[in-house]
Structure 1
Amino acid sequence: MEGNDQDRLIETATRIFAELGYDGASLRMIADATGCDIGSVHQVAATKADLYRQVMQRVHTAEDQAMQDAVARFTSDRQGIKLLADAFLAFYADHPQALALWQHGWMGDAADVAGVDVLYVQPRSAQIADKIRDRVPPDVDPDYLVWSVMWCVYGFLNTGTVHTSQRPSSAPRRTDIHGFQAFLHAMIDRLFAPPQP
């Protein structure tokens, strides 16, 4: 399979895994959607798990590239965390399929493809937590701070918010990125503030 065809296969697999989850997809389905035969798929990935790992590797690489500038400019203080939070929010707001892939995984999908989060999520979160460990107040766990930012971003982009000013029948809003970003910055400021006596 040539490079462009392989890219098309990975892109199709990404879309199908994001829509249906790993467990809901099959190699045959991905082959049919790509317009190739199953033998061509096996040239790229011997199993569905192999193809899924390639998809997750590509998502991780895209996230790394998108956050490269923020990581290079990171400082171990509240401004540094805000910079990373902004880059993280921007990437997942622009890449809903990447968000959906992780969401499926957290709901127990792809349970037989172990270690994806250990490879791609935990190293960066641990590295950031270690860098700010001595900069946060003693009553703030740096691991929870880093994960809280990630959880908030994932939650907002997945479900949106319903503000008190909205009618009860209003659908949750996922479009107020700037308002959410301001809240995220305020949350980071509070978590870096020294505890009150």
Structure 2
Amino acid sequence: MTSPSPDDPRERIIAVATRLFASFGYDGTSTRLIAETAGLNIATVAYHVGGKRDLYLTVMERAHQAERAALDAAAASCAADAAGLRRLLDAYVDFCVAHPEVPALWVHRWQSDAADIADLEGRYARPLIERTAELVRAAAGDGAADAEYAVMTVIWCTHGFCRGGVPGPDGRRGIDDPAEVARFRAHLHRLNDAMLGLGPGCGVPGGGGARA
């Protein structure tokens, strides 16, 4: 997801709306707030992007396109083995850490945000889950685990970490702390290996310890 040109009102509106929807959810963000934050009036926002629903659909479409492009690029370079799955997992974590607005948008939906827009999971999330589950089955075997639940477990954990971080002595720590990201990544490797039977001694080609 690229930075908008300050001279392009439509792109500025979309960027502002993405940030606000990620922070407050669709239901908690008004068109007036979007317009004021973008330094425009409501009529200008409507002219460039339509109503709030239209704008939200554009934001979610762009978030999906960015996520799909990142996963497509990673999948194209990953072998169907344990090491390849770990590289794919790393690419997903890297994407979410670099674009925290994407997991934030989905976490809001998990909390029934924009409940009247009901088809986004089927249109966007489901195809990516199914495709990644096929890669899991190819690498770990059909009987190793419930591949779809394994994929969704990684999504739940990563989105939760990117959105909420972890408690620390001085507050919450998360994606702004490289050491905490490395710790989370290492934990996710161990969790993924355990779910799919990819650890040492499991008999799966390419198995081995999760790297930190």
> TM-score range with shorter-chain normalisation?
0.7 to 0.9
Whichever residue aligns with residue 72 of structure 1, its letter is A
Deviates more, 1:49-58 or 1:27-36: 27-36
Q: Tell whether the 8 Å contact from 1:105 to 1:111 is kept in structure 2 after alignment.
A: yes
* Mapped pair 1:141 → 2:129: no
**What SS does the corresponding residue of 2:171 show, helix, strand or coil?**
coil
* Mapped pair 1:16 → 2:20: yes
Question: What corresponds to 1:105 in structure 2?
Answer: 109
Q: CA distance change for structure 1 residues 72 and 3 in 2, over 3 Å: closer, same or farther?
A: farther
Question: What corresponds to 1:33 in structure 2?
Answer: 37
Paired with 2:166 and 2:58, the residues of 1 have a C-alpha distance of: 33
Question: What corresponds to 1:62 in structure 2?
Answer: 66
Paired with 1:131 and 1:70, the residues of 2 have a C-alpha distance of: 12
RMSD, aligned α-carbons: 2.5
Question: What corresponds to 1:171 in structure 2?
Answer: 171
Q: Tell whether the 8 Å contact from 2:78 to 2:87 is kept in structure 1 after alignment.
A: yes
* Mapped pair 1:126 → 2:118: no
Q: CA deviation at 1:137?
A: 6.2
How many residues were matched structurally? Answer: 190
Paired with 1:82 and 1:38, the residues of 2 have a C-alpha distance of: 46
Question: What corresponds to 2:156 in structure 1?
Answer: 151
Q: CA deviation at 1:126?
A: 0.5
Q: CA distance change for structure 1 residues 159 and 25 in 2, over 3 Å: closer, same or farther?
A: closer
Whichever residue aligns with residue 46 of structure 1, its letter is G
Q: CA deviation at 1:130?
A: 2.4
Q: CA deviation at 1:93?
A: 1.1
Q: CA deviation at 1:13?
A: 0.8
Q: Tell whether the 8 Å contact from 1:136 to 1:142 is kept in structure 2 after alignment.
A: no
Paired with 1:45 and 1:82, the residues of 2 have a C-alpha distance of: 39
* Mapped pair 1:86 → 2:90: yes
Identity among equivalent pairs (%) = 36
**What SS does the corresponding residue of 1:84 show, helix, strand or coil?**
helix
Q: Tell whether the 8 Å contact from 2:144 to 2:196 is kept in structure 1 after alignment.
A: no
Q: CA deviation at 1:70?
A: 0.7
Q: CA deviation at 1:183?
A: 1.6
Whichever residue aligns with residue 171 of structure 2, its letter is A
Q: CA deviation at 1:109?
A: 0.7
Q: CA distance change for structure 1 residues 36 and 95 in 2, over 3 Å: closer, same or farther?
A: same
Paired with 1:129 and 1:65, the residues of 2 have a C-alpha distance of: 17
Q: 1:15-36 deviations in whole A, cap 9, x for unaligned?
A: 1111221011122221222122
Deviates more, 1:125-134 or 1:104-113: 125-134
Whichever residue aligns with residue 26 of structure 2, its letter is Y
**TM-score for both structures, normalised by structure 1:** 0.84
Q: Tell whether the 8 Å contact from 1:93 to 1:157 is kept in structure 2 after alignment.
A: yes
Paired with 1:186 and 1:127, the residues of 2 have a C-alpha distance of: 22
Q: Tell whether the 8 Å contact from 1:17 to 1:101 is kept in structure 2 after alignment.
A: yes
**TM-score for both structures, normalised by structure 2:** 0.79
